[in-house]
Structure 1
Amino acid sequence: MNLRQTARITIAGSAILLIAGCSTNEPSRPTASSSAPMTTSAAPQPSDVATQQATAAYLGMWSDMADAATTSDWQSPKLVRNATAEALQTISRSLYADHYNGLVTKGRPLNHPRVQAVEPPADPKTITIADCGDSTNWLKYRADNGQPADDGPGGRRQIEALVKKAVDGSWKVTTFAVHEVGSCSG
């Protein structure tokens, strides 16, 4: 028996079970949907949903920070969307220092996050993310004349972050650490 014959038998058997389960006193007529294969999709696992939402928050934090860094706006309302606690303080302080020193940042970071841990797996509350972020095209410049600031070249850096589920169900980065240029190769 080939695969096509097996599929026909499976479809026919499913249709018979469907018709028998919905029997009435009237003879049933096949419909277009009774000849189509039935597909079932398993509900997504809590860890899969949490992983997607935490990763989106992590990437959102970097995007929000890059947007605010174009003017060194340490008070940007965007910053609280995906970051909180120590992560938000770190971002705000860094942007304030750039503002104070007359610096802005041009370009965007490139991120490649990988989930390292999901805790607890059955009902996730904390996601650990590792990243090999690339700041090659995300550099600081003097706001007054547009000249590059003397803070060294960008490059690939190891980043670790904790993303936690908030009381309202949203996911936010609570802390992150960025290592020196050259600290990752992947």
Structure 2
Amino acid sequence: MNLRHGAVGVSLVLLLGACSSTRPGEPPVSSTATATRSVLPQPVDEAKERAVAAYLGMWSDMADAAVTSDWRSPKLASNATADALSRISRGLYADHYNGLVTKGKPVNHPTVESVEPAAAPTTVNVVDCGDDSQWLKYRADTGQQADDGPSGRRHIEAKVKKAVDGSWKVVDFAIQDVGTC
């Protein structure tokens, strides 16, 4: 009787080993490890999250620098590069030159329009309906609000790319007129 139970036990061990997803020489994978592996972010999801974070970071960095129209703020390069960084720096320099500062913060609601390529994303296109009605320009010398044209909700498109160091940065953006979203 004991011999028979021993043979059944060995058969079960061999059968369970054959059903395992591990290869010979690899440690067995527990169900916890398998569950954890399936919960890890997928490349597309991670790219979307990091691109949106860079996009929002760019606006936050710009708003911080705009309080003094500091076109040389090193913070600006944290989330923007290429044409985006150039556009921001030029705009802040123009405000500095014209004696303007900006108070408040823009309100953004970005969504991801596309991710390319899907297998290993390096580019994310973001669209937004940004609201600049609480982000206004003032004369630096008098504190009076400057007549800077209409403010409100505007359609914004941005291209965010993965840099060589693995960070994500806005490389370009375009802002449409008030009322375009």
Give the letter aligned to residue 116 of structure 2.
Answer: E
In 2, Cα distance between equivalents of 1:151 and 1:65: 17
Q: 1:173 aligns with which of 137, 162, 170?
A: 170
Hey, what does 2:135 align to over in structure 1? 138
In 2, Cα distance between equivalents of 1:159 and 1:125: 20
Structure 1 SS opposite 2:113: strand
Note the C-alpha offset of 1:139: 0.5
Hey, what does 2:105 align to over in structure 1? 108
Hey, what does 1:92 align to over in structure 2? 89
Hey, what does 1:64 align to over in structure 2? 61
Once the two structures are superposed, the pairs formed by residues 1-186 of structure 1 within 5 Å of their partners are 40-41=35-36, 42=38, 43-184=40-181
Note the C-alpha offset of 1:153: 3.3
Give the letter aligned to residue 35 of structure 2.
Answer: T
* Normalised TM-score (structure 2): 0.80
List alignment gaps of at least 5 residues for structure 1.
1-16, 22-36
Structure 1 SS opposite 2:74: coil
Aligned residues: 151
Structure 2 SS opposite 1:78: helix
In 2, Cα distance between equivalents of 1:133 and 1:112: 6
Contact kept? 1:111, 1:132, Cα under 8 Å: yes
Structure 2 SS opposite 1:40: helix
In 1, Cα distance between equivalents of 2:99 and 2:41: 48
In 1, Cα distance between equivalents of 2:79 and 2:132: 20
What is the Cα-based RMSD across aligned positions, in Å?
1.6
Percent of pairs with identical residues: 68
* Normalised TM-score (structure 1): 0.78
CA deviations over 1:81-129 (Å, ceiling 9, x no partner): 0000000000000000000000000000000000000000110000000
